[in-house]
Structure 1
Amino acid sequence: MRKKDETLQRRILDLARNMANTTGPDSITIRRIAKKAGVATGTIYNYFSSKEDILLALTEEYWYKTLMGMDEAITSETFYRQLEEIYEFLSRQIHQSAGMLMGSLTNVETAGRARMQSMQQKLGEMLIQRMEEDDTICEDIWNGHFTKEQYVSFIIMNMMLLLEKRAPNMDFFIEVVKRTIY
C-alpha cells in the first residue's frame, strides 16, 4: 500500500474548509476539491471515503481548535462562573461556523458520534481540572456513587442540550450546580 502524502491530505482539508467558509458546506464536492487540488477525483478517495468524511474531519478539527481557544479564554475564578463563560463561548462558536458544518453532516451518525465523544472527553478532562482548582467546591461530597467524572458527564450532557436548543443562558442549570457542589 502506498504511503499517504500528509501535505496533500492537509491541502484537501484546507480547500474544503475554504469552500465551506465562502460558499457553504453544500458547495463541497469531491470533484470540485480534486479540480482545485489539481489531482484526479480518485486521489481524494485515497484520503477520505466521502464528502461526509471530509466534513467530519473539518468538524473535528474545528472543535479541537475551539476547545484549545476556550481553555485560554475562560478567566473566572469559580467553577460555576467558568461554566457560564464556557457556555457563552461555545454558543458563539456554534452559531458561527461550527453549526453550519455540523448541520451539513448526514449519514455519519455513528462515525460522527465517536469523533464527537473524543471532543467531549477532552472537554470533560478540562472541566475536572477546573473543578479541582476551585477551592470553594465541597470536597466531602464525592464518593463512589457521586464522582467528579459522573458529575462532569452530567454537566456536558445538559450543556449540549441547552446549546442544541439555543437557550440564551444556562442560569437555572448554574443554580443546580451551585446547590449541589458548593
Structure 2
Amino acid sequence: MKASVTSKEEILKTCCALAASQGLASVNMRSVAKRSGIALGTLYNYFDNKDELLLATVEQIWKDIFHTGDPLSEDLSFPDYVAYLFESIQKGAQQYPGFLFAHSMSIAGAEKEKARSMMENCFCHIRQAMLLVLQNDPRVSDSAFSGTFDPSGFIGFVLENMLMLLMQKEENCSMLCEIIRRTLYGFE
C-alpha cells in the first residue's frame, strides 16, 4: 500500500482512468482501492459508499467531457461555436467509450436524482456559454427570434440535437450548423 497520503483528486483520477479503460461498471470500492494502492478502509475516509464514489466519478467525467477551454476569446460566430463545442465534446467522449449511454444505468435508484442534477449543472454551464456567444454574434437577424421562439429555447434545441448527434456517433454536426445559419442569418 502507498505510504503517502492519497487525495480525493488522485482517487478520482484513478476512477476516471478505470472508467476510460474498462467502463464505468468497473468503478467500485475494491477496484479503486487496489488501483490507487490504498487500503479499502482508507477509501471509505473519502467516500461513504460505492454510490458516492460513482457520483463523484460521473461528475468528474462530465467535467472532462465538457471541458472546452476558452473559445469565447476567439470571437466565433454561433454556428462556428456549435461546431467547436461538438468537436470538443466528441473528443472528451472518446476518452470514455460508452459513457454517454451507460452512466445513468450505473447509479442506484436513490442517487439517480443527484447524478441528473450534476449533469444538468454541466449543461447549464454550456448553455450559458452558448447564450453569450449567440448574444455577441453580430450577424444574427433582428427577426430571428419572437415571443414564442426565444434564444434560450433555441439553445436548448441546439444542445439537445448536438447531444443526439454525439450519441448517434455522427462525425460532424454540419447539418445542424446549416440549420442554425439559416435560422439566425436567413438565406444569405
Q: Which bin holds the TM-score, normalised by the shorter protein?
A: 0.7 to 0.9
Listed as ranges, the gaps of 5+ residues in structure 2 are 1-5
Task: State the one-letter code of the partner of 2:38.
Answer: G
| 1:112-166 superposed Cα distances (whole Å, 9 cap, x missing partner) | 2221111111000000011111100113433432221111111111111111111
Structure 1 residues 74 and 26: alpha-carbon distance in aligned structure 2, compared to 1, 3 A threshold: farther
SS of residue matched to 2:97: helix
% identical aligned pairs: 22
Structure 1 residues 30 and 76: alpha-carbon distance in aligned structure 2, compared to 1, 3 A threshold: same
> For residues 62-101 of structure 1, what are the structure 2 equivalents within 5 Å?
62-72=61-71, 75=74, 77-94=76-93, 96-101=94-99
SS of residue matched to 1:69: coil
Worse overlay, 119-128 or 53-62: 53-62
Structure 1 residues 115 and 99: alpha-carbon distance in aligned structure 2, compared to 1, 3 A threshold: farther
1:148 aligns to 2:147 (yes or no): no
Rounded to whole Å, the distance in 2 between the matches of 1:73 and 1:93 is 19
> For residues 1-182 of structure 1, what are the structure 2 equivalents within 5 Å?
8-21=7-20, 24-35=23-34, 36-41=36-41, 43-72=42-71, 75=74, 77-94=76-93, 96-103=94-101, 105=103, 106-108=105-107, 109-182=112-185
Contact 2:79/2:177 (8 A) holds in 1: yes
Rounded to whole Å, the distance in 2 between the matches of 1:74 and 1:92 is 21
Rounded to whole Å, the distance in 1 between the matches of 2:160 and 2:20 is 29
Task: Tell me the matched-pair count.
Answer: 175
Rounded to whole Å, the distance in 2 between the matches of 1:60 and 1:125 is 19
- Give me the TM-score of the superposition, normalised by structure 1: 0.76
Contact 1:75/1:82 (8 A) holds in 2: no
Contact 2:19/2:96 (8 A) holds in 1: no
Shift of 1:46: 4.8
Rounded to whole Å, the distance in 2 between the matches of 1:145 and 1:107 is 38
SS of residue matched to 1:99: coil
Worse overlay, 151-160 or 72-81: 72-81
Rounded to whole Å, the distance in 2 between the matches of 1:44 and 1:104 is 24
Structure 1 residues 170 and 33: alpha-carbon distance in aligned structure 2, compared to 1, 3 A threshold: closer
What RMSD in Å do the two structures reach over aligned CA positions? 3.0
SS of residue matched to 2:145: coil
